Amino acid sequence: NPPNTLRFLPTYTVFNMNNWMPLTLEYLSQSDYQKVVNIYEEIVENNPDDINNYWYLGLSYLLLGRAEEAQSTWLMVLMNGNDEEVNLWTKELRDILTTEAEKQAHNKNFQLAWNIRSALKEIEPNNLENLLKLLDLSVVLNIFDKNPKALYRLKNPSYIKH
């Protein structure tokens, strides 16, 4: 019996998980996000202490249109950190989401870019750069609401108590 092999990658063991990255990149390039989710779920299960994997698992959920699962994955980690860790982790997550949103926009996947930026808005509601890019994507997607109250909601999400 091989030691603790990954179910979906029989040739990769948990102890040699660096080999999953090329496969993940291949699936991402093919937009096969379910396979990416499968990989990251397995990685998180077998290596729960590596916080970065949660960021990418959440991103994978988001790319599949499963925004609530993405947010839950990220918040589960963020709720368990002290202030210093949460600040560091939020920056890491912001960088990952921003990079992916820019990549998706560059590839003209404007809806995915908008979804990613919307998720980032939930994490960092006062990130002006992200809000402006989100507004720009809303115009590109023709979902921009010119009503001033809509602009207020964009800047002040409903989950924040005023």
Burial class for 25, CB neighbours closer than 10 Å (0-12, 13-18, 19+): exposed
Residue 25: pLDDT band (50, 70, 90) is confident
Q: Name the DSSP letter for residue 64.
A: T
pLDDT of residue 152: 56
Q: Name the DSSP letter for residue 158.
A: T
pLDDT of residue 143: 87
Cα–Cα nearest to 72, from 88, 54, 89: 54
Cα–Cα nearest to 44, from 22, 67, 69: 69
Question: What confidence tens digit (pLDDT) does each residue in 72-85 have?
Answer: 999 999 999 999 99
Question: What confidence tens digit (pLDDT) does each residue in 128-156 have?
Answer: 999 999 999 999 998 876 655 655 555 55
pLDDT of residue 5: 36
CA distance 109 to 32: 14
Q: Encoding tokens for residue 87? A: 């600040």
pLDDT of residue 11: 38
pLDDT of residue 107: 94
Residues contacting residue 116 through CB under 8 Å, at least 6 positions apart: 59, 62, 97, 100, 101, 104
CA distance 121 to 131: 7
